[in-house]
Amino acid sequence: VWGNCLDYIKDNIPTQSFKTWFLPIKPLKLKDNVLSIQVPSKFFYEWLEENYIKLLKSAITRELGEDAKLVYSIVMENTYGNANPYTVKIPSSNRAPIKNPKVSMPVDIGDKGVKNPFIIPGLRKVHVESQLNPNYTFDNFVEGDCNRLARSAGYAVSNKPGGTSFNPLLIYGGNGLGKTHLAHSIGIEIKDKYPEKTVLYVSAEKFTQQFIDAIRNNTKNDFVHFYQMIDILIMDDVHSFAGKEKTQDVFFEIFNHLHQHGKQVILTSDRAPVDLQGMEQRLLSRFKWGLSADLQVPDLETRIAILHQKLYNDGVEMPADVIEYLAYSINSNVRELEGALISLLAQSSLNKKKITVELAKQMIDKFVKNTTREISIDYIQKVVCDYFDMPIDLLKSPTRKREIVQARQLAMYFSKQLTKASLASIGAQCGNKDHATVLHACRTVNNLAETDKRFKNYVEDLRKKLTLQ
């Protein structure tokens, strides 16, 4: 197809122009009537646009018909030496959008389907692909005590981007707790409510790389201008700016411009601003202008709700006791929780095994073997209460009813045996008792198990349940 286009073009312009402007073009692919071509530089693209777009258009529509589209790829070497194209999409038919080219991201799928960001400098009225992952919505972000403030601040920002005192909004928290997800949710929500606004998600690392490339290519101004025209800038993992002074400086410049113009900035970081070492003071003080909200490790109920939601989204069912077991056992972060769920589902379908607590335990022993996992006190309390068919609240209440005291003592005893928790913290979690009470409980259980047959059975049953032996 491209060969035919070239033949047609050749016949319509001077040979020298043809050699200069058309031979260097590389056809990339033709798919769904969209022809992708690669041009050596942005300047080259602009020249084509100014001087030969009509010719190109007629050449292409002759070959592919009126609804054909043309996509330019402009290749720019980055420091790793591989191509880092930015693509300019030009609808080539009926409408007259040539003066108003659409800019789109290269379709190179990175982390969880998020495409790589890119820069297209110097174009009027550009449409920037937001780089948002459509799966990371507010709807999919389960609310819990652990994230309530950050979530509702994010939601408030999405209602009035740039118009709240949460500017910047800084979301911080440990690995796998949902920072990236929440940041995307805000972006998606804003795009939904304000389609005309330019939203851009970019990781701080990518930003740094783009900046380095821009310096190398002498396009720092284009780089800065590109970022300054964004309405909502979502910068993920700003802690990675630590120690990178030049990048911090350029970000400071961009930040100030955006902030002064009432544009919204959303930042995420793996720690609170006060703990961000290697960050310039003036940048840190900007971070504190708005609101910092943290994400905590989700509590048990939230972990269960998250599992339910993932299962629901995938249309998969799982026995409630297995869900609870997973939620009890994996209390580090949501990413691991998700990982465990996925590998459990994979295990069961690969080996055609029923999903049971037993299978989940085997899987977790393999899956989480590198992180020090231990049975949690929560889990012990739950198993003990299930066993005696009583609510957990009672176990934690100050009541002195015999059966309840007994269950409480058993929970303390197993917490001492099966976890590394101190007597004091076991006491604290079993209804605000002190360490002496826990010690007493352990002795009582030992004594009773020797003298009372029925009680001994309880202990053995519970031990089996807890250790799954």
Among 68, 71, 114, 177, binds ligand ADP (CB under 6 A): 177
Does the protein bind ligand ADP through residue 293 (CB under 6 A)?
no
Q: How far apart are the C-alpha atoms of 336 and 352, rounded to whole Å?
A: 23
Token pair, residue 321, equals: 């006791």
Judged by CB under 6 A, which of 127, 148, 259, 335 binds ligand ADP? 335
Query: Can residue 411 be called a binding residue for ligand ADP (CB under 6 A)?
Result: no
CB of 294 to Mg ion, least distance (A): 14
Is 269 one of the binding residues for ligand ADP (CB under 6 A)?
no
Angle at 399 between CA 393 and CA 403, to 5 degrees: 85
Q: Which of 42, 102, 115, 181 binds ligand ADP (CB under 6 A)?
A: 181
Q: How many residues interact with ligand ADP (rule CB under 6 A)?
A: 16
Q: Which is nearer to Mg ion, 92 or 180 (CB)?
A: 180
Q: Which residues are annotated as a binding site for ATP?
A: 176, 178-180
- Can residue 306 be called a binding residue for ligand ADP (CB under 6 A)? yes
Residue 444's binding partner out of ligand ADP, Mg ion, none, with CB under 5 to 8 Å set by partner kind: none
E strand or H helix that includes residue 73: strand 69-74
Rounded least distance, CB 307 to ligand ADP, Å = 9
Among Mg ion, ligand ADP, none, partner that 348 touches (CB below 5 to 8 angstroms by kind)? none
CB of 180 to Mg ion, least distance (A): 3
Of the candidates 89, 179, 206, 396, which one interacts with ligand ADP according to CB under 6 A?
Answer: 179
Gyration radius of the chain's alpha carbons: 30
Q: How far is the CB of 175 from Mg ion (least distance, A)?
A: 8
Q: In 10 A of CB 221, how many CB atoms?
A: 11
Q: Please spell the DSSP secondary structure of 321-364, one letter per residue.
A: HHHHHHHHH--S-HHHHHHHHHHHHHHHHHTT----HHHHHHHH
Asked whether the beta carbons of 405 and 440 are under 8 A apart, the reply is: no
Q: How far apart are CA 48 and CA 42, in angstroms?
A: 10
Choose the binding region for ligand ADP from 73-81, 178-186, 198-206, 384-392 (rule: CB under 6 A): 178-186
Helices (H), 52-203: 53-64, 148-159, 179-193
Whose Cβ is closer to Mg ion: residue 179's or residue 286's?
A: 179
Distance CA 372, CA 353 (A): 27
CA 184 – CA 200 distance, rounded (Å): 10
247 binds ligand ADP (CB under 6 A): no
226: contact with ligand ADP by CB under 6 A: no
Residue 201 CB, nearest approach to ligand ADP (Å): 12
Q: How far is the CB of 67 from Mg ion (least distance, A)?
A: 40
CA-closest candidate to residue 335, choices 144, 177, 179, 182? 177
187 vs 431 by CB, closer to Mg ion: 187
Within positions 127 to 166, which residues make up the interface with ligand ADP, using CB under 6 A?
140-142, 147
- Partner that binds at residue 416, options ligand ADP, Mg ion, none, CB closer than 5 to 8 Å by kind: none
Q: How many alpha carbons lie under 13 Å from residue 107 in its C-beta half-sphere?
A: 5
* Cα–Cα distance measured from residue 47 to residue 17, given in angstroms and rounded to the nearest whole number: 12
49, 205, 299, 338: which one binds ligand ADP (CB under 6 A): 338
Nearer to ligand ADP, 272 or 439 (CB): 272
63-90: b or e for each residue (b if 16 or more CB lie within 10 Å)? bbeeebbbbbbbebeeeeeeebbbbbbb
By the rule CB under 6 A, 238 interacts with ligand ADP:
no
DSSP letter, residue 37: E
Nearest distance, CB of residue 300 and ligand ADP, angstroms: 14
Region from 179-187, 247-255, 387-395, 437-445 binding ligand ADP, contact rule CB under 6 A: 179-187
Please provide the DSSP assignment of 416-436 as one string.
HHHS---HHHHHHHTTS--HH
Q: How many CA atoms lie within 13 A of 238 on its CB side?
A: 31
Among 116, 136, 120, 137, residue whose Cα is nearest residue 128: 120
Give me the residues that bind Mg ion (CB under 5 A), please: 179-180
| Site of interaction with ligand ADP (CB under 6 A) | 140-142, 147, 173, 175-181, 306, 334-335, 338
